[in-house]
Amino acid sequence: QRVQFEMWDSDEPVPRLELLKKVKGCDGILCVLTEKIDAQLLEAAGPNLKVVSTMSVGFDHLSLDELKKRGIRVGYTPDVLTDCVAELTVALLLATSRRLIEATHEAKTGGWGTWRTLWLCGHELANSTVGILGLGRIGVAIAERLKPFKVKKFIYTDVAPRPELANMIEAEYVSFDELAKQSDFLAVCCALTQETHGICNWNLFSKMKKNAIFINTSRGGVVNQEDLYEALSTGLIAGAGLDVTTPEPLPTHHPLFTLKNCVILPHIASASYTTRNAMSALAANNLLAGLRGEPMPKELKL
Ligand SMILES: O=C(O)[C@H](O)CO
């Protein structure tokens, strides 16, 4: 069975109005996370639409209720990006805790004087407690990579204990408050949902240690950025590394960019050639299987 397709051949997102026109009558849509797949778009596509395949593990850009209501199947790309995202999370964590961006800046711009005892000191992983907010495949992969740095203890919280995953990394289930209180490093790995929206706010930051490093490679929406700014600029916590923000791109005049103790990356956690190739192949295969009415390699159960 042949499939006719039209491709948006640009790195820029499809302008919304153009997308709304182009989806009319389509049987399937392959999208990335910049496309909002909501009621308006589904209406514009019309009744032929059977499958939406997103080239991402996150699915907060999809209105799942609307898709379910219309019986539209959804494909996504978990697993193939886990190693890549975990690797970047570790890189971001170390860049933040060991102040690498500040350090290269100082070296390049004349701030490098004589060797000084406390200059550019950071916080080390050895003997630390690492907390994971939302334990899934990616959280486990991060912990596996951090373990050789001699982390003392892994703790996590989630809506309920996840013993199978937790056992893989000997992580202890704790309450949200305990996660805040005990973590020297806190990695956010949860999906963005109604429940997790803004969950990293003053309530969390005010309970964290002064030496704590906060890392987010999930979605910007889980963080209240005003509260994070306050926490970072008043020394309530030591630093933050963010691969995701609200909005994206984060405007260059955003206050978070003024902080030395905040490292901001432009949503690149899955950006390796190998992983992006694997994600696109999986997204294409999900789409084709969905169109043929066959089981998808990775289908999101609605
Ligand atoms: O959801 C995802 O897949 C990431 O944010 C981009 O790879």
Determine the pLDDT at residue 13: 93
CB 145 within 8 A of CB 189: no
Q: How does strand 73-75 pair with strand 299-300?
A: antiparallel
Average pLDDT, the chain: 97
Tell whether the model's pLDDT for residue 2 goes beyond 90.
no
Task: Compute the residue count for the chain.
Answer: 302
Average pLDDT, stretch 209-232? 98
Residue 185 structure tokens: 């490093």
Average pLDDT, stretch 95-123? 98
57 lines ligand 1 (CB under 6 A): yes
200 strand-pairing partners: 223
Average pLDDT, stretch 140-151? 98
224 lines ligand 1 (CB under 6 A): no
Active-site residue among 105, 123, 197, 267? 267
Average pLDDT, stretch 193-220? 98
User: 296: CA distance to ligand 1 center in Å?
Assistant: 19
Give the separation between CA 154 and CA 169, rounded to whole angstroms.
Answer: 7
Find the angle CA(266)-CA(190)-CA(214) to the nearest 5 degrees: 60
Tell whether the model's pLDDT for residue 1 goes beyond 80.
no
Residue closest via CA to ligand 1's atom 4 equals 56
In tens, the pLDDT along 32-48 reads 999 999 999 999 999 99
Determine the pLDDT at residue 134: 98
80 lines ligand 1 (CB under 6 A): no
262 strand-pairing partners: 240
* Catalytic status, residue 267: yes
CB 267 within 8 A of CB 243: yes
For 12, list phi and psi in degrees, rounded to 5: -80, 145
For 173, list phi and psi in degrees, rounded to 5: -80, 130
Alpha-carbon separation of residue 232 from 210, 225, 228, 261, 267 (angstroms): 10, 10, 6, 7, 21
pLDDT band at 58 (very low <50, low <70, confident <90, very high): very high
Mutate-to-test residue for ligand 1 from 30, 31, 33, highest number of ligand atoms within 8 A of CB? 33
Find tokens 């991402």 and name the residue.
56
For 206, list phi and psi in degrees, rounded to 5: -70, -15
Tell whether the model's pLDDT for residue 112 goes beyond 80.
yes
User: 49: CA distance to ligand 1 center in Å?
Assistant: 24
Q: How many CB atoms lie within 10 A of CB 39?
A: 13
pTM over 0.95: yes
For 55, list phi and psi in degrees, rounded to 5: -85, 65
31 strand-pairing partners: 54
Residue closest via CA to ligand 1's atom 1 equals 58
Give the separation between CA 3 and CA 5, rounded to whole angstroms.
Answer: 6
CB 53 within 8 A of CB 283: yes
Give the separation between CA 269 and CA 25, rounded to whole angstroms.
Answer: 34
Average pLDDT, stretch 69-92? 98
Which ligand 1 atom is the nearest neighbour of the CA of 270? 7
How many percent of the chain have pLDDT more than 70?
A: 100
